[in-house]
Amino acid sequence: MLCRLEVKGYKSLTEIEIEFGQVTFLFGLLGAGKSSILRAMHALRSLSGRQTVGGALAESNEGAVKNVFSQFPGESSKGKEVTLGADVAVRGGESLRYRISAALESASQRVVVTDEYLSQLSRQGEPKGVARIERDKDRLKIRRRVQQSPPYLEDLGLFHALLGDPRLSGRNYPELESLRSELSAWRFYRLGCLAFGQGPDTYEETDDIGCGGERLLPFLRRLQRERPGLFRELQVLLGRVVDGVEGFDIDLDERYGVLHLHLKVHGRDFAADGVPEGFVRVLALLAAMVNPWGSRVIALDEPENGLDPRSTDRLGEAIFQVALERDLQVIVATQSPWLCERVVVQSESCPEKVSLMHVKQGDAGTQAIPCRETGPLFAPKRMAEALKPED
């Protein structure tokens, strides 16, 4: 679970720190920096893999690593540094603090590590014991679990993060192993105006719908075969969110090896391309949240796209309920006042589970301002004001 995110110098995130609840809503206008927050999280996840820091930053920003270091188009990235950090609760009850800083070399245009840090945290959220990774002058010091074993040293200027270094694995590096396992399982979804699930899809078993929903059909096929009870639960959940939807089914065309999605709407059967795309988008979002092979942390970027206000309101309720029932952390970036209003109303029963952040542009870049008030009378007025363009 992500407890705190710290970002400096990443796109419009000049310097920002955010505390997360089990359900966190980042709301604000278009261009406020909501998606940049999710992209920074994505970069942290990518660092846990075996790729360069530059590759992780580029992957989080759709291939444009230079733009990560610049807030505005055409702005020079020379001499700039990006810092990404997080407090993470991993399985077993342990909490860890991780931070990495990297700069873009002007000559080679390669991204190099300038600092990296990892330590355990106490219950009060403070570092405890000696750091497992820390900077020592011009080197990085990595401490192993073996007693009386000298620290392992690496020179600064690495192209990869120690977090993703496969040499630092096994019982001597339990904190690194736990952090890798947690970060690598984070999932990010942005279901735009695409034709995912709108026709046949090659049959292939998968454990996720894909970040754009492109693997929805094989995922549903596997869920239908291996977890029929959960498949039926997903059908009921879809009907609660979208009026008129009574169920859906997945058929495998054995001759051509492709899958077809059919939905039952108001008593009639339709192929996926015969219903509004928003129906299938909601199905994909709900499938991602009930995924029995998925992560404890998922991020949804503007899940309200293509939905009417009533369905958006019900989607907010479903997000909140599924998160609590399945012990899932859900982080949502949205422009929808209806989605925000619903989570505010739902949070009256357990306000400690919810974090509501107003994301907006300030003189020093993106800001994330906590909203402490709760209650249905607060939601419409405050949300509408926050989402109204400034004069």
- The domain ranges of the chain are 2-20+34-187, 188-386
pLDDT(197) > 50? no
At 76, the pLDDT band (50, 70, 90 cuts) reads low
Question: Whole-angstrom Cα distance, residue 29 to residue 389?
Answer: 7
Residue range 282-305: mean pLDDT, rounded: 90
N- to C-terminal Cα separation, the chain: 38
Q: How far is CA 66 from CA 10, 15, 160, in A?
A: 10, 18, 17
Phi, psi of 342 (to 5 degrees): -65, -40
Contact 5, 18 (CB under 8 A): yes
At 377 the pLDDT is 38
At 198, the pLDDT band (50, 70, 90 cuts) reads very low
pLDDT(223) > 70? yes
Question: Whole-angstrom Cα distance, residue 222 to residue 204?
Answer: 9
b/e map of 208-235 (b: 16 or more CB within 10 Å)?
A: bbbbebbbbbbbbbbbbeebeeebeebb
Other residues' Cβ atoms within 10 Å of the Cβ of residue 333 = 24
Contact 340, 383 (CB under 8 A): yes
At 207 the pLDDT is 87
What's at 260, amino acid-wise? H
Q: How far is CA 111 from CA 44, 78, 158, 163, 166, in A?
A: 15, 11, 9, 16, 20
* Token digits of residue 31: 């261009």
Write out pLDDT tens, residues 126-182: 998 889 999 999 999 999 887 667 888 899 989 999 999 988 988 889 999 999 999
Write out pLDDT tens, residues 2-52: 999 999 999 889 899 999 999 999 998 888 889 999 999 999 999 988 778
| Order of strands, sheet of 95-104, starting from the edge strand that comes earlier in the sequence | 13-19, 2-10, 81-89, 95-104, 111-121, 127-136, 139-142, 152-155
Query: Tokens 């089990």 sit at which residue?
Result: 22
Other residues' Cβ atoms within 10 Å of the Cβ of residue 137 = 7
Write out pLDDT tens, residues 303-336: 888 788 888 888 988 998 899 999 999 999 998 8
Predicted TM-score (pTM) of the model is 0.87
257 torsion bin: left (phi>0), alpha (psi -120 to 50), beta (else): left
3-state secondary structure at position 83: strand
Residue range 227-251: mean pLDDT, rounded: 90
At 25 the pLDDT is 92
DSSP state string for 181-248? HHHHT-EEE---S--TTSS-EE----SS--TTSTTHHHHHHHHHHH-HHHHHHHHHHHHHHSTTEEEE
Residue range 370-376: mean pLDDT, rounded: 61
Which of 361, 356, 358 has its CA nearest to residue 369?
A: 358
**Topology classification of domain 188-386:** Rossmann fold (3.40.50)
